[in-house]
Structure 1
Amino acid sequence: MQTTPPTPRALITGATAGIGAEFARQLAASGHALVLVARDEARLQERATEFRSGYGVEVEVLAADLVNRADLAVVEVRLAASGTDRVTVLVNNAGFGLPKPFDENAVDDEQQLLDLLVTAPMRLTHAALTQMLEFGSGTIVNITSVAGYTPRGTYGAAKAWVLSFSRWANLSYRRRGITVTAAAPGFVHTEFHDRMNVSKDGIPAFLWLDVRTLVRLALRDVARGRAVSIPTLRYRVIVALAVLLPARIVAAGALRGR
């Protein structure tokens, strides 16, 4: 087992904007080297320049579409590498939503949603564990959602899988030095809803979270070894209600998450 700790290095998917970019920013501020993963290489390079100049850290970029199995395999190989530049923190953040009901979406679009929200984090977690377990240390953060606690279509179902998977993984691997935390935000001020081309007007102001606060609270819970991080008291109350109330009430939209 390695006795000298490696330079802390975080690989973050969906790293060019929103939650992923903020994880990169806060981890860089704490001295982590970065491996940034997203589809848009130009935006990746912009972020890399920003983080190198702003924090003086090493930044590597991997342009990859995680729905594409060949691109996903490239990221898996990088995560499994056990050299001196091994990844010590994995943040599975990449994701998107579909604005239409399940029956109105093309089934291929639904398959891509499942591939990105479930298959990609499962395979990337497996790849990271191959070297993290060898060294007896590592951190994995899976971005799920309050929607994972509600009957909310295939998006909620996928996030529920990530939530359950992360809970199990934390129980199974924490005693071997690996912390796995599911971060479950609600509504966050990012590009997420804009990319879906859906209105945000009907969402009460008190439900919106600042992305900096979300990531700060998530990293605090990660440091404490928690399996699930639900940011702020208001969202912990919402989750408690979602669990207790009849499913038909929750599904009607009384409690709608990210």
Structure 2
Amino acid sequence: MSRSARIRTTALVVATVALATVALARAWPDGVGRGFWFWLAACAAGELLWVRLPLGGATLSMASCFNISALLVLPAGEAMLATAAATLGMELIAMRKRPERALYNAAQTALAVGAGAAAFDALSGGGRDLVQLLSQLRLAPFLAACAGFYAVNRAAVVLVVAWSGEIPLREAWRRNFGSSYEALSSGAVFSLGALLATHYSGIGMAGTLLVALPLVLACDGMRRFTERLDAESRPEAGDDERRAA
């Protein structure tokens, strides 16, 4: 990494962590309930189901399912704190990422969750009766929440991959997220998150078991897809030799 790229990347990390700190401070909960600890554990478990993206050493985890659920059922401050803490802890302990990378991912997760929660509240009128919203086919708040989360999360990944790797933003997006399969799989994971949140509102924590197997399958499918993309992007040695000849 060149000196200019290192400076840009460091500035991005510092700015993201600072912005997340301010956002968390403004939304800081007065106290946390049992639900907070449940979603902290669920998000941490989701971090164990991860896939390495084709470019920049970035990763994508199934924790996004639980992040969506948390922002739908918890107050914004609790959801941001739970998801950020789960991301930071698991990336340091289980994935052994560098501290600055783990901090950046925790910060951008908090911002993505905050954006999703704000979008949901704006279109739901502040109401959090998920069962009633779905029964009335009021899907706009759910779609807005997922879109807000997706936009912030993917933008954060694309920016850090592009700036640290000194490649165009469009290329970073295309290589990591530019496929229809990625959009479809993300939509499936997010819809599972909304479904889980609705079940949680109606029947409690037991609803988590309903999404365990689908998440494992989604993770396996995404891993196979990214591995195939990575293999296709690398020219085979035989092809190189033939071109050289």
TM-score (norm 1): 0.37
Structure with greater helix share of residues: 2
Structure with greater strand share of residues: 1
Larger C-alpha radius of gyration, 1 or 2?
2
- Higher relative CO (Cα under 8 Å, sequence separation at least 6) belongs to 2
TM-score (norm 2): 0.38
